[in-house]
Structure 1
């Protein structure tokens, strides 16, 4: 046996088997202890070695971080909600602006169309009035010239008779119109001794059981429009536009018509060449 066999060794024994125990403090920074014990072989036993390690406290810092994270998340959510509300408000405002602009444009177009319509109506009325005044002046001049010529050869003037071979209804209404030759022209009159143009036409057609509108504008659309080159006795002649005529008369055949012309002429029989009509309608 060696002389050192019973002398305890001062070297730390090798740690063959270790046992670690960890105790973690959960609240208030409780120290964590790690105990490590080592045992040598059975023949070389030594004192167990214990090491204690102080671990940092985790709970307080973790709670603060969680609180900060929750606060940041809440702020982000609030910002997103505010942004969504602002976007919705902007979209709604843009839609309202587009709707208002479209409505304004529609009203402006409607006003322009109405203004154009009124201007066109005014222009037509002026043109019709000018044409009517021109025709009236021409008729007055011709009537005066005819009266002066007739006064030198005769003291009385016999109204010309209508020359037509029309029979039936057309012949009857023409005969009535012929019977009124020489009657006075009075605006608004419907007989029996004074007439205006449409009053005479209406009365003539009433003799054969046909009811016509009272005024020239309506009489010019009371029948089927016919060409002036295809006239028949009894057709209604009109001056001006269809639906806006200012004068009507009755075609009696042979290129002539009978009508209540104006205050200076009264009811006369004239050639179409004397005052060419604008159009004609056929009722019979």
Structure 2
């Protein structure tokens, strides 16, 4: 078997195994908290009607939350995992094996994708079961949203890897990604129509992938008439594909180079230094 393909196959297996292991970890508390938060937000919104539309605010927020979850997980998840694996020596061991970095990257992509998918099911399903008439989306509508979510994942995953490569610690990676991402979500029309924001914030929000993944998810799950609530009164599908595509292409052009440079600099001494720093943080 081709060595690269063998590494890819091992990466696929590793990603699945690590995802399965994560199901029994304390990390799932986060998914439970997100499920409670989503359900509460949608519950309080389900009686509010969007001005100029027969849709409830909850129906408008549901696909937006799905899109934001994918973008958030695609950026924050790889950044945290990559920085953690630098600290615990996983990355150094991968570097020492022929094509080990290929298998490592494939494994990270697989685990992140499965983590996000599982988180979406756990986060959204309770709201769908508990809130009547939350959405009229059928099977074809849910299938139509998949390409949008995959494009959103492609637009954010490489940037998460870049952030994890630059960060000096897992805490630093969270600082690079989580705090800025929360600000971006706030101006991306996820929990309320973006038109409610000042014009300059509307423009800024449209620069980032979160807004466009939300638009794409809404276009798949909401009726055509709901486009009247969007900027310009349309789904702007070409713009959505274009912006997400640019983020994905630029990210995938930059990420391999930055990852290779980061991997070349990895050494046992560096790993031990980070491990000692982590132990001191733990004792502090």
TM-score normalised by length of structure 1: 0.22
Q: Highest relative contact order (Cα 8 Å, sep 6+), 1 or 2?
A: 2
| Higher Cα radius of gyration | 1
Q: Which has the higher helix share?
A: 2
Q: Which has the higher strand share?
A: 1
TM-score normalised by length of structure 2: 0.22
